[in-house]
Chain A
Amino acid sequence: MIAALPIELRETLVLRELEELSYKEIAEVTRMPIGTVMSRLWRARRLLAQAARRDEAA
């Protein structure tokens, strides 16, 4: 399911969930503002939740 995410969202999500980096650390690693880190995480999780709902409905 994660593999279907756009690369920039997947990268942020994996750094957070697998590597357990903080927002600040992700921002440093990816050279993005913390606000962008937060919005990408939000979009990634939202897409996953929507995909899961679609799977359940199918």
Chain B
Amino acid sequence: MPDCDKVLLVQAELDGELGAAEAAGLAAHRAECPICEAAAVELAQARALVRDDLYQPVPEDVRHRVMTALAAARPARPAMAAAAPESLGWWHRWWSNGASFGLGAACAAALAVLLLMPAMPPGLTEQVIAGHVRALQPGHLQDVASEDRHTVKPWFTSRLPESPQVPDLAAQGFVLMGGRVDVVGHDPVATIVYKHAAHTVSLTTLPPGQSVSDRAIAGYNVRSWSDAEFTYIAVSDLPSADLALFERAFSAGSPMPEVK
């Protein structure tokens, strides 16, 4: 067994099992306990070993076979002219006879503006909504279920390089339910889950500076805002006015740094 009775707490901290108060108390102990400090180093090494041992890369030949099979299963993109369906015939006739060249040029200019303007990569908002919808399925709502922000915030901190503030908004009618890690693009991101009456609000946090327009998709309202640390995307079946209230409550409710 360990030589110091706090060593198992060091391990629990490594595994993201400690609350903020326990972690703060342990940090003070570790500063004075060489046994726990050495244990932390050893545990981190062991953890790296385990992950190397458990997560083996896929052999190159297997990867090649999978990618080949995927490519074969994907429908080939037809050539423009050959693939134009009958319904597009009018467009070709219209374009080729040049009758509306001015309007066509205007459309092309508008398309160019749309393509050049800074915006989120296509489908990113849809991915956030998909995460929300998936989470609404039984048993998927959150990875950490807690109404205590002192549990949810450290849970994110132990799993993600950047973790958002997790304010308690119960007084404003939005009860913290927990959090989960969603994958947007190729990156794991934090999603905080709140409940307002019978409605669930998923608040996904992306790197700052993203451009997301507020809108309704598939019956879900999307509201986005940014601060210096994150771009926030709130998704819910709440009316857009209530989501605006949520944004104000969240922006105003970020907790002050804790004094130890």
Residues of A within 8 A of B (CB): 1-2, 13-14, 16-18, 22-23, 38-39, 41-42, 45-46, 48-49, 52
Contacts and interface: CB of A to CB of B under 8 A. Distances in A.
Contacts of B54: 2, 14, 17-18
B15 A16 contact: yes
Given A2-B50, A23-B15, A45 B43 contact: yes
A52 B49 contact: yes
A40 B252 CA distance: 44
Interface in B51-78: 51, 53-54
Contact of A1 (B17, B42, B49): B49
B8 A13 contact: no
29 contacts: A1-B49, A1-B53, A13-B50, A14-B54, A17-B47, A17-B50, A17-B51, A17-B54, A18-B54, A22-B17, A23-B12, A23-B17, A39-B8, A41-B15, A42-B2, A42-B8, A45-B42, A45-B43, A45-B46, A45-B47, A45-B50, A46-B42, A46-B46, A48-B49, A48-B50, A49-B43, A49-B45, A49-B46, A52-B45
Given A2-B53, A17-B54, A18-B54, A48 B46 contact: yes
B7 interface: yes
A4 to B, nearest CB: 10
A58 to B, nearest CB: 16
B240 interface: no
State the 8 A-B residue pairs at the shortest beta-carbon distance, nearest first. Answer: A45-B46, A49-B46, A48-B46, A38-B8, A49-B42, A17-B50, A2-B53, A18-B54
Chain A interface, DSSP helix/strand/loop, else mixed:
helix
A49 B41 CA distance: 10
Contacts of B1: 39
A14 B51 CA distance: 10
A42 B7 contact: yes
B156 to A, nearest CB: 15
B11 interface: yes
B49 A38 contact: no
A44 B192 CA distance: 34
B181 to A, nearest CB: 10
A29 to B, nearest CB: 16
B46 A38 contact: no
